[in-house]
């Protein structure tokens, strides 16, 4: 479900299935995801909570507990087969080839060490440079992400920084070892609106400057539009629609995408009117219905929708939809 390209994809996810086995019933959180990420491209993964977005991202770095997780399919970052990595090779891969910006840096950073020490340790581990050189590089990164008084902030602990400043430090940590792929897991959700905009603009600017390839997880359509080249809409562990930002926003084809688009506020709505909502709730991933997982909530569902899951259909160049009603469309 990706557009063709003459270049090799920097990240190639094929038939990815992630099942959590630690509970009373297996939970298939990701169910057959295919996604290619091209060099210098930003893909936004969009969907409600529980749709499999963050699980997909964490699978790329193998962050799920191995004894309670079964991962099937393929994940390749250029010539690296991620699912075959073990021990030191996996540790070297994390941060160097692929790194992640987490949603809440206060939880991602160690509270007992200064932010500067955590960044310099990462640089020393992956780059084998002296502590002085690592600190100089950490200072340059702080300047790059526009942290005020960067030299002083290197010696600050996470709790001594504001939420926006911690997120900038998290970005600096993610960029410390010059990764090829950057994963951003809802990095602006915990921030107020003004700081959100600043972080989004900073990420987009750094992505352009450094030529990064990035997957950006969000549940906010407006954020996806701001940062991405393509949008992939996820539901119940599957990508149900993927295409360019223009195609998905202006001509959504899957009923779920159309529903998401209708729930966003815009200038045409009168103040005080209630926004429409998608009826029902996301399905229980441990007990998925047969056929299309969205069928119980879909206003266009027919008998065939409850029988088998639809295969992806290309409705226009690079625009794919998993739905039998590919005639549906809506103006955003």
The CATH number of whichever domain residue 6 belongs to comes to: 3.40.50.300
Measured CA to CA, the distance from residue 234 to residue 241 in angstroms comes to 7
Q: What is the mean pLDDT of the chain?
A: 90
What's the Rg (C-alpha) of the chain? 21
Model pLDDT, residue 272 = 64
Model pLDDT, residue 265 = 65
In this predicted structure, the answer to whether residue 39 has a pLDDT above a threshold of 50 is yes
Any domain includes 189: no
Tell me the whole-structure pTM to 2 decimals.
0.90
Answer yes or no: are the C-beta atoms of 181 and 97 closer than 8 Å.
Answer: yes
Model pLDDT, residue 266 = 60
Any domain includes 188: no
Measured CA to CA, the distance from residue 317 to residue 76 in angstroms comes to 25
Any domain includes 288: yes
Any domain includes 270: no
Any domain includes 290: yes
When pLDDT is cut at 50, 70 and 90, the band that residue 270 belongs to is: low
In this predicted structure, the answer to whether residue 166 has a pLDDT above a threshold of 50 is yes
Model pLDDT, residue 3 = 47
Any domain includes 55: yes
Any domain includes 225: yes
Query: Could you tell me the residue range of the domain that residue 326 belongs to?
Result: 1-39+50-86+218-265+281-332
Q: How many domains does the chain have?
A: 1
Question: Order of strands across the sheet with 11-20?
Answer: 27-37, 11-20, 69-77, 80-81
How do residues 275-306 score in pLDDT, each as one tens digit?
A: 778 888 889 999 888 899 999 999 888 888 98
Model pLDDT, residue 329 = 63
Any domain includes 292: yes
When pLDDT is cut at 50, 70 and 90, the band that residue 190 belongs to is: confident
In this predicted structure, the answer to whether residue 332 has a pLDDT above a threshold of 60 is no
Model pLDDT, residue 325 = 84
How do residues 50-76 score in pLDDT, each as one tens digit?
A: 899 999 999 999 999 999 999 999 999
Which of 51-60, 98-107, 201-210, 322-331 is the least confident region?
322-331
């Amino acid at each position: 479900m990706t557009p063709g390209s003459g270049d090799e994809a920097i990240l190639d996810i094929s038939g990815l299935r992630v099942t959590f086995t630690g509970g009373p019933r297996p939970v298939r959180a990701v169910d057959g995801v295919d996604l290619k990420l091209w060099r210098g491209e930003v893909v936004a993964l969009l969907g409600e909570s529980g749709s499999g977005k963050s699980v997909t991202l964490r699978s790329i770095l193998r962050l799920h507990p191995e004894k309670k997780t079964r991962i099937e399919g393929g994940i390749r970052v250029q010539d690296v087969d991620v699912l075959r990595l073990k021990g030191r090779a996996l540790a070297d891969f994390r941060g160097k080839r692929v790194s992640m910006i987490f949603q809440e840096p206060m939880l991602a950073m160690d509270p007992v060490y200064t932010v500067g020490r955590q960044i310099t340790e990462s640089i020393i581990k992956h780059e084998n440079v002296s502590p002085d050189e690592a600190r100089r590089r950490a200072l340059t990164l702080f300047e790059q992400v526009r942290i005020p008084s960067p030299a002083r902030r290197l010696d600050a602990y996470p709790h001594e920084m504001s939420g926006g400043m911690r997120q900038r430090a998290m970005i600096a940590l993610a960029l410390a070892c010059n990764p090829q792929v950057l994963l951003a897991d809802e990095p602006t959700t915990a921030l107020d609106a003004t700081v959100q905009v600043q972080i989004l603009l900073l990420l987009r600017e750094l992505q352009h400057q450094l030529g990064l390839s990035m997957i950006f997880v969000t549940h906010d359509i407006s954020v996806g539009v701001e940062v991405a080249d393509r949008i992939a809409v996820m539901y119940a562990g599957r990508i149900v629609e993927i295409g360019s930002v223009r195609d998905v926003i202006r001509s959504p084809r899957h009923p779920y995408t159309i529903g998401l688009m209708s729930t966003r506020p815009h200038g045409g709505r009168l103040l005080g009117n209630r926004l429409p909502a998608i009826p029902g709730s996301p399905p229980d991933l441990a007990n998925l219905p047969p056929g299309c997982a969205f069928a119980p909530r879909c206003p266009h569902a027919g008998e065939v929708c409850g029988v088998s899951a639809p295969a992806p259909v290309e409705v226009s160049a690079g625009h794919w939809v998993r739905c039998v009603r590919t005639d549906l469309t809506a103006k955003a």
